[in-house]
């Protein structure tokens, strides 16, 4: 018998690596891999109705990340501020429905991370290209901080910055790969975080893109 170092637990997604980022935040390595094709079909369905677009921050900067949304509520930014809305300002229509594969994965991952009964009503979908970045921020436009956020990464890898409760706190750099899912909530819910500028490391399935979507209870 050949001894193997089974760091990632074979093919059982529940046994893939877990990396704790804080008391109530965890990276579930590869957790989304079995669902990738269903998730990408969901992304295509969403973006056919609500295309990716680059939004402008209240400070007047055009975001390098392009975004869209699905679910009852969608996150937007413009000169007047950040907010959730039921209507896509670009199409004048409600945001597309949240694909079942998104909702199911988010519920399962949340339960796995200690947040049973997660029922998201908003999903922000981000598209990164080489050089795209997301500066340090807190997610605080949601009404209730009691629910966690579930974040799914597909395509090119990214270096995620996970800081503390103050902007100036030292941030850990955590690589996120295709199929990784991050869940955080509770005492970690308002920690500052961001994404370093992406390197061009083309992914076999998605090319020079990274797709990240985050599921939330916003309303």
Residues interacting with ligand MD6, by CB under 6 A?
126, 134, 139, 149, 151, 160, 182, 193, 195, 212, 214
Smallest gap from residue 213 Cβ to ligand MD6 (A): 9
Taking CB positions, which residue lies at the least distance from ligand MD6?
Answer: 151
Give the integer Cα–Cα distance in Å for 118 and 215: 10
Residue 2 DSSP SS3 = coil
Whose Cβ is closer to ligand MD6: residue 11's or residue 20's? 20
Give the integer Cα–Cα distance in Å for 93 and 159: 34
**207 DSSP 8-state letter:** B
Assess 139 for contact with Fe ion (CB under 5 A): yes
Contact 77, 56 (CB under 8 A): yes
Alpha-carbon distances of 158 from 10, 131, 189, rounded to whole Å: 24, 11, 21
Whose Cβ is closer to Fe ion: residue 13's or residue 153's? 153
Record the tokens describing residue 182, joined without a space. 């991050």
Whose Cβ is closer to Fe ion: residue 47's or residue 126's? 126
Rg (CA), the chain: 17
List the single partner that 68 binds among ligand MD6, Fe ion, none, CB under 5 to 8 Å by kind: none
Smallest gap from residue 45 Cβ to ligand MD6 (A): 20
Give the integer Cα–Cα distance in Å for 34 and 172: 28
Strands in 172-176's sheet, in edge-to-edge order, are: 134-137, 193-195, 158-162, 172-176
Whose Cβ is closer to Fe ion: residue 38's or residue 159's? 159
- Encoded one letter per residue, x for contact with Fe ion by CB under 5 A and - for no contact, window 24-43 reads --------------------
Q: Which stretch binds Fe ion (CB under 5 A): 90-98, 125-133, 134-142, 195-203?
A: 134-142
List the single partner that 212 binds among ligand MD6, Fe ion, none, CB under 5 to 8 Å by kind: ligand MD6
- Encoded one letter per residue, x for contact with Fe ion by CB under 5 A and - for no contact, window 57-96 reads ----------------------------------------
Q: What secondary structure does DSSP assign to 5-46, as a single string?
A: --TT-TT-GGGS-EEEEETTEEEETTTTGGGHHHHHHHHHHH
List the single partner that 73 binds among ligand MD6, Fe ion, none, CB under 5 to 8 Å by kind: none
Number of residues that bind Fe ion (CB under 5 A): 1
Binding site for Fe ion (CB under 5 A): 139
């Amino acid at each position: 018998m050949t001894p193997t170092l089974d760091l990632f637990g074979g093919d059982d997604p529940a046994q893939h690596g877990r990396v704790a980022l804080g008391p109530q935040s965890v990276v579930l390595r590869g957790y989304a891999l079995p669902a990738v094709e269903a998730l990408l079909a969901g992304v295509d369905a969403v973006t056919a109705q609500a295309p990716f677009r680059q939004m402008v921050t209240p400070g007047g900067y055009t975001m390098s990340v392009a975004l869209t949304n699905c679910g009852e509520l969608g996150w937007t930014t413009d000169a007047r501020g950040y907010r959730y809305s039921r209507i896509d300002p670009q199409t004048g229509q409600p945001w597309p429905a949240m694909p079942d594969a998104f909702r199911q994965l988010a519920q399962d991952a949340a339960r796995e991370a200690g947040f049973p009964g997660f029922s998201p009503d908003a999903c922000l979908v981000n598209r990164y290209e080489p050089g795209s970045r997301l500066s340090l921020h807190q997610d605080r436009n949601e009404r209730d901080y009691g629910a966690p956020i579930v974040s799914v990464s597909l395509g090119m890898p990214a270096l995620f910055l996970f800081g503390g409760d103050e902007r100036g706190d030292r941030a850990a750099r955590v690589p996120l790969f295709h199929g990784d899912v991050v869940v955080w909530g509770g005492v970690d819910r308002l920690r500052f975080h961001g994404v370093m500028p992406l390197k061009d490391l083309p992914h076999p399935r998605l090319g020079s893109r990274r797709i990240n979507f985050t599921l939330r209870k916003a309303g």
